[in-house]
Structure 1
Amino acid sequence: MSWLSDNLFGISKSKETPTEGMASPTVNTSVPSTDEIQNGTITTSQNGTASNAVTNEDTGAEYETREVAAEWHVPIRGKLHKIEFEHGTTSGRRILWINEKEIFRRDWMFKLVGDDIFELDDLRCILRVDPAPGFKYKYSLFVDGKPLDQYKQRQAKGLRIWEATINEIQYRVVLEKDTLNIYLNGTVREEEGEFTDSGTETKWEEDGNVFILNARNSGNKHDGLLHKLTINGAEIQETTE
């Protein structure tokens, strides 16, 4: 239910020297902003929406200005989905974008509050608009029957996540603990891990960058397996959600 802006990108590097000739990961510190966040929901005034210009990929020209009232980021099966919602408080217009693609548009609605239901990666989602004090509106998102923050907490228990930016390209590596599937930017990797003296090692390349995910036994039943990701020899700290 909360907007995913809780410092998801706290990435840092170890003091190890990256492989010669390869780019080192950099910290991604971009954090979106809203008018106000209360109890995991986004609250905005009738005139307090944020503008987001959309650029035509072919011409580079701006062809539409979005009045985004609420924005969330939803993790599903290794991929982070961006959800944007426009709410016209005079006309009642509602527009929903997922990953920059328009999903629905309702230009005239007499009822300014209520629910919209849609699917995201086969999961049922509910976008709820409620009135708030001071001529404001509160926007809440439910995923798979749960408020977004509860859904994220459940997801986080079964995932290991690392994020880094290299040469202005963002990479998100996700390990599913139950299936041991590894995702890179939402796409499952087919590489198989190889046994080493200390555990297992899974290695692959993307855009000329070398990714290595190591797993070793912690020796502690409570901690279980310990995982470490390096990119071009630099260790990436795990992201917590």
Structure 2
Amino acid sequence: MTDLVAVWDVALSDGVHKIEFEHGTTSGKRVVYVDGKEEVRKEWMFKLVGKETFCVGAAKTKATINIDAVRGFAYEYTLEINGKSLKKYMENRSKTTNTWILHLDGEDFRVVLG
């Protein structure tokens, strides 16, 4: 990963997923990794801004990375989960679910009630 520009940790009902995004700002290349596995790869994109949509987790939750120019050749990257900003999604999730980590027989289990 040479052009890594953003990393997010997203807590879903099946666990925490790591999303990594590479953006080649000269070539327009975009690569999305979910839990280390390549999900999206686009080479030589002429448009440097835009969106990349993909799925995360066992429930195939919709995720979108927004790429926006902020000034000159600087870019801002934001993640949406199910159409909401990551912050808003996590706030809503904490209101509607309870989550525990249960340590049993030397293993950790994530329990989510919603």
- Answering whether residue 48 of structure 2 is matched by residue 112 of structure 1, we say yes
Gaps of 5+ in 2: none
Q: Which has the higher contact order (CA 8 A, sep 6+)?
A: 1
Q: Write out the 4+ residue segments of structure 1 that deviate beyond 4 Å after TM superposition.
A: none
Deviations 1:107-132 (A, max 9, x none): 10010000111122322211100001
Shift of residue 134 of structure 1? Answer: 4.8
Q: What is the identity, as a one-letter code, of the residue corresponding to 2:4?
A: V
Deviations 1:28-64 (A, max 9, x none): xxxxxxxxxxxxxxxxxxxxxxxxxxxxxxxxxxxxx
Q: Quote the Cα distance in structure 2 between the aligned partners of 1:163 and 1:69.
A: 34
Paired position in structure 1 for 2:33? 97
> Aligned-pair RMSD on alpha carbons?
2.2
Deviations 1:149-178 (A, max 9, x none): 1111111221223498xx9x8x463331x4
Gaps of 5+ in 1: 1-64, 179-241
Q: How many residues align?
A: 109
Query: Which residue of the other structure, out of 67, 73, 80, is the alignment partner of 1:135?
Result: 73
Q: Judging changes above 3 Å, is the alpha-carbon distance between structure 1 residues 163 and 111 closer, same or farther for their aligned structure 2 residues?
A: farther
Q: Judging changes above 3 Å, is the alpha-carbon distance between structure 1 residues 66 and 172 closer, same or farther for their aligned structure 2 residues?
A: farther
Paired position in structure 1 for 2:93? 155
Paired position in structure 2 for 1:196? none
Query: Which residue of the other structure, out of 44, 64, 70, is the alignment partner of 1:126?
Result: 64
- Answering whether residue 28 of structure 2 is matched by residue 87 of structure 1, we say no
Q: Judging changes above 3 Å, is the alpha-carbon distance between structure 1 residues 119 and 175 closer, same or farther for their aligned structure 2 residues?
A: closer
Q: What is the identity, as a one-letter code, of the residue corresponding to 2:42?
A: R
Q: Judging changes above 3 Å, is the alpha-carbon distance between structure 1 residues 163 and 100 closer, same or farther for their aligned structure 2 residues?
A: farther
More strand per residue: 2
Q: What is the identity, as a one-letter code, of the residue corresponding to 2:61?
A: L
Q: Quote the Cα distance in structure 2 between the aligned partners of 1:78 and 1:160.
A: 11
Q: Judging changes above 3 Å, is the alpha-carbon distance between structure 1 residues 119 and 155 closer, same or farther for their aligned structure 2 residues?
A: same
Aligned runs of 1:184-203 on 2, under 5 Å? none
User: Could you say what secondary structure the match of 1:110 adopts?
Assistant: coil
Q: Quote the Cα distance in structure 2 between the aligned partners of 1:68 and 1:129.
A: 13
- Give the TM-score normalised by the residue count of structure 2: 0.83
Query: Which residue of the other structure, out of 3, 6, 11, is the alignment partner of 1:75?
Result: 11
Aligned runs of 1:173-212 on 2, under 5 Å? 173-176=110-113, 178=114
